[in-house]
């Protein structure tokens, strides 16, 4: 029994000795965490990009909304007055509604594609600036590792998100 107890103590001591250097080494690394979503929400470049996109696409958006309203009026007229219209008049309006619906859908799809393309362009520019800011903070703060995606928890001690946002405010 005594022999087993001393063997268990030896194994525990050996495990402690083996784990100690790993723990000591881990304490020498400086790690930072960046919350990418928060950076994108608070970055001044993101707000500027959003304004540029809104300005660039506002005219087309207004035209699409007006076309939707006009189509809705024709659909309502067809639903309301279709029964009392002549056959030729009703068929003409039905073809017109169908044609305008197709054209509107095509224009909406084009609009979405163009908007997504431009949004991705703007986002790419912002990403480059974010990486630039993170690299600068990493070098100045002598970080060994900066983690972004996939972090479940990070203490405020290692969270450098606000530093990145402040750095982005300096970059224009």
Tokens for 31? 């790690």
* Residues 6 or more apart whose Cβ sits within 8 Å of residue 155: none
Q: Apex CA 168: angle with CA 162 and CA 172, to 5°?
A: 165
Q: What share of the chain in percent tops pLDDT 90?
A: 64
Nearest to residue 57, comparing CAs of 125, 122, 127? 122
pTM here is 0.69
Tens-digit pLDDT profile for residues 104-132: 999 999 999 999 999 999 999 999 999 99
DSSP 128-143: HHHHHHHHHHHHHHT-
Q: Quick check: 30 pLDDT over 60?
A: yes
Query: Please, are residues 122 and 53 in contact by the beta-carbon 8 Å criterion?
Result: yes
Query: Please, are residues 14 and 142 in contact by the beta-carbon 8 Å criterion?
Result: no
Q: What's the confidence (pLDDT) of residue 12?
A: 54
Tokens for 58? 């506002």
Q: Quick check: 14 pLDDT over 70?
A: no
Query: Which residues on adjacent β-strands are paired with residue 9?
Result: none
Q: Quick check: 45 pLDDT over 70?
A: yes
| Average pLDDT of span 46-52 | 94
Q: Which domains does the chain have, with CATH numbers?
A: 2-170 (3.30.910.20)
Nearest to residue 146, comparing CAs of 39, 25, 20, 21? 39
Residues present in the chain in total? 172
- Please state, rounded to an integer, the average pLDDT across all residues of the chain: 86
Q: Quick check: 41 pLDDT over 80?
A: yes
d(CA 107, CA 136): 44
């Amino acid at each position: 029994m005594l022999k087993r107890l001393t063997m268990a103590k030896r194994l525990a001591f050996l495990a402690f000795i083996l784990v100690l250097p790993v723990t000591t080494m881990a304490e020498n690394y400086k790690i930072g965490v960046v919350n990418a979503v928060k950076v994108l929400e608070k970055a001044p470049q993101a707000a500027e990009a959003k304004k540029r996109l809104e300005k660039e696409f506002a005219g087309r958006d207004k035209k699409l909304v007006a076309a939707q309203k006009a189509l809705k009026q024709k659909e309502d007229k067809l639903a309301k007055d279709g029964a009392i219209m002549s056959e030729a008049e009703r068929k003409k309006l039905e073809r017109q509604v169908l044609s305008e619906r197709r054209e509107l859908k095509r224009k909406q799809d084009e609009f979405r594609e163009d908007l997504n393309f431009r949004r991705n362009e703007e986002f790419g520019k912002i990403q480059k600036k974010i990486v630039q800011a993170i690299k600068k903070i990493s070098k100045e703060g002598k970080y060994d590792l900066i983690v972004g995606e996939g972090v479940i928890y990070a203490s405020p001690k290692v969270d450098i998100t606000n530093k990145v946002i402040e750095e982005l405010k300096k970059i224009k």
